[in-house]
A and B are shown apart, each in its own frame.
Chain A
Amino acid sequence: EAQVTQNPRYLITVTGKKLTVTCSQNMNHEYMSWYRQDPGLGLRQIYYSMNVEVTDKGDVPEGYKVSRKEKRNFPLILESPSPNQTSLYFCASSLGGGQPQHFGDGTRLSIL
C-alpha cells in the first residue's frame, strides 16, 4: 500500500528541547515536502526536497531544519522549539513538486 508515514502523531514538549519528526514514503518518490497547517492560514510549505541531498526553503522555513540522506526519508528537525511552532504538520511526497502529492496523516505538535 502506498504510504507516507509520520511519527510521532502527537507530541507535547517544552520550549528549547530539540525534537525530530520522521517522515518515510514507500513510493520511490523524488519530491518530498513539509507543511504546517494553522487556523486561517491553510497549508504553508516549510521545506521541500527535489531529491537526495537537494533541499530548498518553502514559505516558512525559520526555526526548522531538514535533511534528505535517503530517498525514502525526510525528517523535520526543530533544534530549539518555541511556542509559535505549535501546529499541525504534514509530510508529503510526489513524483514532482507540481504533481499530486501523497500526504501523511499529520503530526500535532504542542510546544509549551
Chain B
Amino acid sequence: DQQVKQNSPSLSVQEGRISILNCDYTNSMFDYFLWYKKYPAEGPTFLISISSIKDKNEDGRFTVFLNKSAKHLSLHIVPSQPGDSAVYFCAASEYGGYQKVTFGTGTKLQVIP
C-alpha cells in the first residue's frame, strides 16, 4: 500500500518556466513533509519541508504548498534551471520526530535549455 504517491514519473519543462511537481498521501496522521532532490550516483539531498500547521513554505526559487483537506502537496520551482534536472522525492512522517519516514516513488524532472 503506497501511502505517498507521485503519479508523474517524469516531467519536462523549458528553462525559465515554472516546474510543478505533485505528491499525494493517504495517511491522515502524516503532518511533516519534505522534498528531496537526487542526482545520479549521489544520495538524495534535502530541498524544502513543510509542517501541517502551514500551507506554504518558500525558500528562494522553491515553494511547497500543502492542501491538507485534499492530502496533496506540490513543489513549485520558479524559474526552472537546467541544474534542477534531477529526480525529486516527496517524503512524509508523523510528527514527533522519531518516526518512520515514507517516501514517494519520485518524479524525474528535465529542464530543457
Contacts and interface: CB of A to CB of B under 8 A. Distances in A.
B34 A100 contact: yes
A98 B99 contact: yes
A98 B101 contact: yes
Contacts of A104: 43
A68 interface: no
Contacts of B104: 42
B103 A100 contact: no
Sorting the interface of chain A by its residue count into under 10, 10 to 19, 20 to 34 or 35 or more gives 20 to 34
Given A98-B94, A98-B96, A100-B49, A59 B102 contact: yes
A98 to B, nearest CB: 4
A97 B101 CA distance: 7
Given A42-B89, A42-B106, A105-B41, A97 B100 contact: yes
A44 B94 contact: no
Contacts of A92: 43
Interface in B1-49: 6, 9, 32, 34, 36, 41-46, 49
Contact of B42 (A30, A41, A105): A105
A98 B43 contact: no
B49 A45 contact: no
A35 to B, nearest CB: 7
Interface of A: 4, 30-31, 33, 35, 40-45, 48, 50, 56, 58-59, 90, 92, 95-106
Given A4-B43, A56-B100, 9 more contacts: A31-B98, A40-B105, A42-B104, A43-B91, A50-B98, A96-B97, A96-B98, A103-B36, A106-B43
